[in-house]
Amino acid sequence: MPLYRTGIDMFKKYQAKYNPTVVSTRFTDVQGVALDRAQAGLNTIHTVRELIRPILDEYGVTGGQRATYLAFATKLWKHINRQRGDAAKKYADGLKSYFVTAFGLDPSILDEIIQVISGWVMPY
């Protein structure tokens, strides 16, 4: 018979697990690695933004929609950086469909972003 944890059991474990002194020591120990990773990641995000900024300017995309296109580009980069070949193309196609359906983005703009970020064009 499984033993189910109650809310108070989970809270007590959280309270014991996240001792501020222990957490502070761990963060101090890995600070150098974390800063290097943050710098690399933020530089990459900047590069992705700089790659798609001309596309958005060309189409006159402004305001909140601009942020949504940027979100698409960064999410696309994240996943095609992890996968290659057909897996990356399937993911890009699915991500494009999601952003078109959920946020009403222009598919032709998304195709240009895909081409700039990945170097290939989505097949239809």
Residue 27 domain-assigned? Answer: yes
Q: Summarize pLDDT for 31-43 with one digit per residue, the tens.
A: 999 999 999 889 9
Residue 78 domain-assigned? Answer: yes
Q: Summarize pLDDT for 50-99 with one digit per residue, the tens.
A: 999 999 999 999 988 999 999 999 999 999 888 888 888 899 999 999 99
Domain that holds residue 54: 7-118
Taking the C-alpha atoms of residue 50 and residue 66, their distance in angstroms, rounded to an integer, is: 13
Domains held by the chain: number: 1
Taking the C-alpha atoms of residue 45 and residue 7, their distance in angstroms, rounded to an integer, is: 39
Q: What is the pTM of this model?
A: 0.73
Residue 123 domain-assigned? Answer: no
Domain with residue 93: its CATH number is: 1.20.58.800
